[in-house]
């Protein structure tokens, strides 16, 4: 049985603190009353602020995505500590159901990956439940595991967001910029975030598309090393509501993947038809009338006429050869004929 603790023993143990050593100028009295010494001060935590920006992003997908999309989705969840995950949504469900899922998960932003035909990937960025929302076609996906890049960053650190100057010139790009800032920026003093800034998200507009890159900031010389992932967003439409509603902007330069594949097939078929037409033209040229060349009078100068042979007319019908299958009988018949000829000559 454990010994009983004295009253106040636990409180005294908790009240114990580390005390500082006496300074050089202070004199310690010998045998006299003990002077209370100065206590060590524990430094306060790094993040003293309060978590006010309660942005939460729900990142999930529909059924039918491939492994590359799954890795990209997992990379975004790793880079965004304020994100949440959910199970895959059935393809038969309507998109407005996502607003209810976000409400149940207590999320006010959403990144939804929609797969079609097991080869086309679409990304929805939405501010739930009021809107707006934007739909993109995702191209040229490269994940963290695939690239094997040399860059690295602290898990849960807050990123810097860098935008192309084109985002401030067009109104639809300005709307997308604000949507990107609210979704991809980690809120300050988030419980799962780290109080460091060691990587940067860049959004660049080239060839009517938005190129996403992630770089590490090296402190020594302030240079950038790419971490990944990387992908290209081709804007399709911007809607006023969340996952639907009136269309605010439609990209005139967008070409659907079905149309792109159809044009490729048509170009291949046109090349095949062109080859067939060339073959038919060559056949027609061969069958066409040849150009007659005028006779050369000097062509027959060196030709010698052939000797004329007398025409021999055979009056007697030639004897029919007997059809003999056995070779031995055939030889006997030939010998009999030769003997007859010798007798007649003799």
Nearest to 240 by CA among 108, 130, 137, 111: 130
Residue 280 falls inside a structural domain: no
pLDDT at 24: 46
Residue range(s) defining the domain that contains residue 84: 57-260
Residue 177 falls inside a structural domain: yes
Residue 317 falls inside a structural domain: no
Residue 29 falls inside a structural domain: no
Nearest-angstrom CA–CA distance, 150 and 143: 13
CATH number at residue 153: 3.40.50.10480
Q: What is the pLDDT along the chain (346 residues), one digit of tens a residue?
A: 444 554 544 444 444 444 444 444 444 445 555 545 566 666 655 556 788 888 899 999 999 999 999 999 999 999 999 999 999 999 888 998 999 999 999 999 999 999 998 889 999 999 988 989 999 999 999 998 876 777 888 888 999 999 999 999 999 999 999 999 999 999 988 888 888 889 999 999 999 999 999 999 987 777 899 998 999 999 999 999 999 999 999 999 999 999 999 999 999 999 999 999 999 999 888 887 666 777 888 888 888 888 888 888 888 887 777 665 677 777 888 888 888 887 777 6
Q: Per the structure, how many domains does the chain have?
A: 1
- pTM of the predicted model as reported, rounded to 2 decimal places: 0.67
Residue 305 falls inside a structural domain: no
Burial of 94 (0-12, 13-18, 19+ CB in 10 A): exposed
Residue 26 falls inside a structural domain: no
Residue 206 falls inside a structural domain: yes
Residue 312 falls inside a structural domain: no
């Amino acid at each position: 049985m454990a010994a009983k603790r004295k009253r106040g023993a636990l409180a005294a143990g908790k009240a114990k603190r580390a005390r500082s050593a006496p300074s050089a100028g202070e004199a310690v009295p010998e045998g006299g009353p003990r002077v209370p010494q100065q206590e060590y001060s524990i430094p306060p935590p790094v993040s003293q602020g309060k978590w006010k920006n309660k942005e939460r992003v729900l990142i999930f997908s529909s059924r039918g995505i491939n492994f590359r999309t799954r890795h990209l989705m997992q990379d975004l969840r790793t880079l965004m500590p304020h994100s949440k995950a959910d199970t895959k949504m059935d393809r038969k469900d309507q998109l407005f159901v996502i607003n209810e899922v976000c409400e149940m998960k207590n999320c006010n932003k959403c990144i939804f990956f929609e797969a079609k035909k097991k080869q086309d990937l679409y990304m929805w960025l939405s501010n739930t439940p009021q809107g707006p929302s934007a739909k993109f076609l995702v191209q040229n996906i490269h994940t963290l595991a695939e690239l094997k890049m040399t860059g690295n960053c602290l898990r849960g650190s807050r990123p810097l967001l860098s935008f192309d100057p084109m985002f401030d010139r067009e109104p639809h790009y300005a709307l997308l910029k604000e949507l990107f800032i609210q979704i991809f920026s980690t809120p300050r003093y988030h419980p799962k975030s780290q109080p460091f800034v060691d990587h940067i998200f860049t959004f660049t507009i080239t060839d009517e598309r938005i190129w996403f890159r992630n770089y590490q900031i090296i402190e020594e010389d302030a240079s950038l090393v790419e971490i990944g992932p990387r992908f290209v967003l081709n804007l399709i439409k911007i809607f006023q509501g969340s996952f639907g509603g009136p269309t605010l902007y439609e990209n005139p330069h967008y070409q659907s993947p079905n149309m792109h594949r159809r044009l490729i097939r048509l170009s291949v078929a046109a090349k095949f038809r062109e080859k067939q037409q060339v073959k038919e033209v060559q056949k027609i040229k061969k069958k066409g009338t040849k150009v007659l060349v005028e006779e050369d009078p000097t062509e027959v100068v060196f030709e010698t006429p052939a000797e004329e042979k007398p025409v021999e007319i055979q009056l007697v019908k030639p004897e029919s050869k007997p059809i003999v299958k056995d070779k031995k009988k055939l030889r006997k018949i030939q010998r009999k004929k030769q003997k007859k000829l010798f007798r007649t000559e003799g």
